[in-house]
Structure 1
Amino acid sequence: MSDTATSGVTHSFQLKSANVSLTALELYFFDDAQFEADLRDKISQAPGFFKDIPLVITLDRYEGIDSELDFFKLIGTCRRHHIHVIGVRGGTDDQRRLARGASLALFPGQGQRGAPQAAAEPDTATAEAEAVSTTAPARVISQPVRSGQQIHCPDGDVVVLGPVQAGAEILAAGNIHVYGPLRGRALAGIQGNEAARIFCQSLEAELVSVAGHYKISEDLQGNGWKEAVQIQLSEDLLVVTPLNRG
């Protein structure tokens, strides 16, 4: 008799819901050579962020020719750079048929039934985003977040009462508050909450992101570097503003 039988397990698996942080690549057109060149440029800015990430290709703003949309080449290019394309969001029936032929998962796009929260109408999205921050319990971290650690809060805010060291990562569906230097990576609004914000006492981050829009260290050093700031989205751009100290 097997160990599983004696322990009372009768099924080989169980399905459960999962909150997973995904990065979306918004594709405007596809040329294999230019795509790889642009991808290399992005990876060079933050190599640690892109390594082994799952990627969803968004086609809501695709303006290229469908006959040039070779998902097999796109997937192969991404795999060479250790990025894993898992699906396609949005697109026309023909584009989604091509994606299905490449064994990619199909996600609804803007205006399609079952679309993710980030694709909701602006007023509704704002209301739902605010509800996440006000109703879900915040996760409070009272110790420094050390290099190699990851703090993941798929339902609400994260509050860190100390520093976040280089090589550490904070992921939150809502806001991120760091009452110390932020030297690692902070990703707020990971479920598409565009109203999420990042607050820190000293901005020294490797990378910050709100709802998938990100900036790396080199982009941040000219604005609020090593100062107390808040980071938020404004018209699809990350904006860094100083915190008022009264």
Structure 2
Amino acid sequence: MSQTPIELKGSSFTLSVVHLHHSQPEVVRQALQDKIDQAPAFLKNAPVVLNVATLSGDVNWKQMQQAVISTGLRIVGVSGCKDENLKRMIARAGLPVLAEGKEQKRSAEPAAVTEPVTPAENLVLKTRVVNTPVRSGQQIYARNADLIITNSVSAGAELVADGNIHIYGMMRGRALAGASGDRDCQIFCTNLSAELVSIAGEYWIMDQIPAEFFGKASRLSLKDGALTIQTLN
């Protein structure tokens, strides 16, 4: 038994980021409700981060926040905020303003000149391999890596990878590739019967998967910003 009443540990969670591109709360509310109606099992009561990079301090934040909450989504933070007035409104509403991983503070002084580093020296490609069945309610996350599943994936299970996802068994759960935003990622599946497939936030629920590919060996990717599917040869 631990000697202290609490313990702080680092962890990783998959959160959807809602990018707000309209300043009218009712327009945002209706657009969110339409998305939730398309995939209620995936989005109902889901925790989300709101990205407000395109909004300014002119927005009525109290109404905007209420519009999002009224759909059932749970706001856990706000990112992309560059407007100081909007930051103050968000802080007064009791929400944390988050800095995304790709954001970097700009220095007033010129950056030091360094020797260029090739991607091969700076990046190690990783792959996570899972050989056991993935059960309902189980989530597997491959951080900064591809994910390979050599067994079946049950309905209600979730696969998340910052890279590609390969499933060599029956796929009945959810697969989310490119979770960190990499739009070049793909999903490869020998038997596609998924509840949901997603690449870099673009997703299809089961009913949107073309019937001729359902239950077949398939390969999904993004083309011109939209999900596309083809036979896996």
Shorter-chain TM band = 0.7 to 0.9
**Structure 1 unaligned blocks of 5 or more:** 1-6, 116-126
Correspondence for 2:18 among 9, 12, 25: 25
SS at match of 1:148: coil
Paired residues in the alignment total 219
Correspondence for 1:218 among 207, 211, 216: 207
Deviation at 1:8, TM superposition (A): 6.3
Deviation at 1:104, TM superposition (A): 1.9
Q: 1:44 to 1:56 in 2, by over 3 A?
A: same
What does the per-residue CA deviation read over 1:139-198, in whole Å, with 9 as the maximum and x for residues that have no partner? 31332x333332233342322223323222112222211112322211122233333321
Q: 1:12 to 1:155 in 2, by over 3 A?
A: farther
> 2 CA distance for matches of 1:54 and 1:114?
27
In structure 2, what is the equivalent of residue 106 of structure 1? 97
Correspondence for 2:167 among 175, 178, 192: 178
What does the per-residue CA deviation read over 1:66-106, in whole Å, with 9 as the maximum and x for residues that have no partner? 43x23333333333333111222213223222222222222
Equivalence map 1:1-246=2 (5 Å): 9=3, 11-62=4-55, 66-67=57-58, 69-91=59-81, 92-108=83-99, 112-113=103-104, 131=123, 134=125, 136-143=126-133, 145-221=134-210, 224-244=213-233
> 1 CA distance for matches of 2:221 and 2:52?
25
In structure 2, what is the equivalent of residue 3 of structure 1? none
Query: Which deviates the most, 150-159 or 26-35?
Result: 150-159
Q: Work out whether residues 52 and 80 of structure 2, in 8 Å CA contact, stay in contact via their aligned partners in 1.
A: yes
**Structure 2 unaligned blocks of 5 or more:** 107-118
So what's the TM-score if we normalise by structure 2?
Answer: 0.79
Higher helix share: 1
Q: Work out whether residues 26 and 67 of structure 2, in 8 Å CA contact, stay in contact via their aligned partners in 1.
A: no
Q: 1:217 to 1:109 in 2, by over 3 A?
A: same
SS at match of 2:141: strand
Q: For the aligned residues, what is the CA RMSD? A: 2.9
Query: Which deviates the most, 146-155 or 19-28?
Result: 146-155
What does the per-residue CA deviation read over 1:183-233, in whole Å, with 9 as the maximum and x for residues that have no partner? 221112223333332110122221111222222222222563332222223
What does the per-residue CA deviation read over 1:111-140, in whole Å, with 9 as the maximum and x for residues that have no partner? 74169xxxxxxxxxxx59x946x2x24131
So what's the TM-score if we normalise by structure 1?
Answer: 0.75
In structure 1, what is the equivalent of residue 112 of structure 2? none
SS at match of 2:154: coil
> 1 CA distance for matches of 2:89 and 2:205?
34
